[in-house]
Amino acid sequence: MTLETVQVSNYGFKVIVTVTDTAGTARNLTGAANLKIKLRCTKARAGKEFTGQAEDLANGKISYTVAASDIDEEGLWQAQAYYELGAWKGHTEAVDAFFVERNLA
């Protein structure tokens, strides 16, 4: 995975998490509910939770478009998805999503 680099306070870009099984195959999430994307800078103690969007559920993709003030710390940010499908409710493993650098001015 190639990490994108963004600047502190950038927004309008999309974070997409692909839910996979242990073999790395995308899970079909058709019918999944309560979609969430969680983001956290590895330097932070707490993360942030956002309502996820169905990006391409048949191929396991859940997304969130970053809003103003969501990205407030420099460093490596990780993403994690949450979803409910049938009787199963839970989180994916966290994945490295993007790197944030400080602005020049």
Range of the domain at 44: 4-101
Q: How many structural domains compose the chain?
A: 1
Q: 28 with 76: CB under 8 angstroms?
A: no
State the number of CA atoms in the 13 A half-sphere of 7 facing the CB: 5
pLDDT tens sequence across 68-93: 999 999 999 999 999 999 999 999 99
Q: Residue 68 is part of a domain; what is its CATH number?
A: 2.60.40.3350
pLDDT tens sequence across 25-70: 999 999 999 999 999 999 999 999 999 999 999 999 999 999 999 9
Find all residues with CB under 8 Å of 63, minimum gap 6, and list them. Answer: 14, 15, 16, 17, 37, 52, 53, 55
Q: Which residue has the tokens 């995308």?
A: 26
